[in-house]
Amino acid sequence: MDLIVFNTKNEANVYVAGLIVQEINKNAFLTLGLATGETPKGIYNDLIKRYRENKVSFKNITTFNLDEYIGLHPESPDSYHFYMQEKLFNHIDCPKENIHIPNGCAEDLNNECENYEKLIEESGGIELQLLGIGINGHIGFNEPGTAFDTHTHITKLAPSTIEANTPLLVEEKKLPSHALSMGLKTIRQAKKIILVAFGKQKADAIQRLLNGEVSEGFPASILKRHSDIKIVIDSELNNELKVE
């Protein structure tokens, strides 16, 4: 695992967006895994900026998002569908049919999970996956205790995730209790992974990722078994890490 530290979030965002653009410019048909949450917002802004400057085109890429809340319609401002449209897809040239986000309102959710996994496979697998991390070590919505061999599945949100994400709600009164999420196996199969984390509040999770053991009690620890992963953090987080 390569740990890369930047003085500011902004520098980190520019670096990560640069890596994504580099991959797309090497392979215009890239399959890209995307994340939501607070962390990637600046990266998406930088990607939009590069698109407007004609430095990159997204017209042939395929995207797969990590997760979606169960029960939220794509038009709900609190859904990850809405987030992705607003923060990225409305501003770039990625065709609608190339964009994949699990449908948390599907009639048959198990079927939706199976199909999602099949679509990833048919696209040739994710070549570059962008990840954030929860304070409890979740990646996607794979909460502590999730088996390492899971594919896209229905997951129950941990209390700390509900606590962290409830203040972000715009319209809904209550955060859904469940979500659809790529599994830990799905994520691990991505050829390259970039995990981004900012701020003091993520320091314990990153410390455990760097120095802890591989255990299903800490989902992100599966990434220690990945051969091509970059962890990108800011100095605020780095200053909290203890050298072990």
Ligand X SMILES: O=P(O)(O)OC[C@H]1O[C@](O)(CO)[C@@H](O)[C@@H]1O
Q: Judged by CB under 6 A, which stretch of 54-62, 132-140, 144-152, 236-244 contacts ligand X?
A: 132-140
**Would you call 25 a catalytic residue per the annotation?**
no
* Spatial contact of 63 and 48, defined as CB atoms under 8 Å apart: no
3-state class (DSSP) for residue 129: strand
**Would you call 45 a catalytic residue per the annotation?**
no
Q: How many residues bind ligand X (CB under 6 A)?
A: 12
Q: Judged by CB under 6 A, which stretch of 10-18, 127-135, 183-191, 220-228 contacts ligand X?
A: 127-135
Q: Judged by CB under 6 A, which stretch of 33-41, 95-103, 118-126, 146-154 contacts ligand X?
A: 33-41
107's CB contacts (< 8 A; 6+ apart) are: none
**Would you call 136 a catalytic residue per the annotation?**
yes
Instruction: Determine which residue in the list 104, 132, 137, 183 makes contact with ligand X, applying CB under 6 A.
Output: 132
CB of 216 to ligand X, least distance (A): 17
- What is the distance, to the nearest Å, from the Cα of residue 190 to the centroid of all Cα atoms in its chain? 12
- Torsions phi, psi for 55 (to 5 deg): -90, -10
Paired residues of 36 in beta bridges: none
Q: Does 37 bind ligand X (CB under 6 A)?
A: yes
Q: Does 219 bind ligand X (CB under 6 A)?
A: no
- What is the sign, positive or negative, of the torsion defined by CA atoms of 109, 114, 116, 119? negative
Strands ordered across the beta sheet of 128-131:
2-6, 229-234, 192-197, 128-131, 31-34, 62-65, 99-100
Instruction: Choose between 28 and 210: whose C-beta lies nearer to ligand X.
Output: 210
Q: Does 33 bind ligand X (CB under 6 A)?
A: no
Instruction: Choose between 30 and 139: whose C-beta lies nearer to ligand X.
Output: 139
CB of 141 to ligand X, least distance (A): 5
CB of 212 to ligand X, least distance (A): 18
Q: Judged by CB under 6 A, which stretch of 30-38, 92-100, 109-117, 235-243 contacts ligand X?
A: 30-38
Q: Does 68 bind ligand X (CB under 6 A)?
A: no
Q: Does 39 bind ligand X (CB under 6 A)?
A: yes
Q: Which residues in 66-191 belong to E strands, given as ranges?
A: 67-69, 99-100, 128-131, 153-156, 178-181
In one-letter notation, the amino acid at residue 25 is N
Q: Does 86 bind ligand X (CB under 6 A)?
A: no
**What count of Cα atoms within 13 Å lies in the side-chain half-sphere of residue 18?**
7
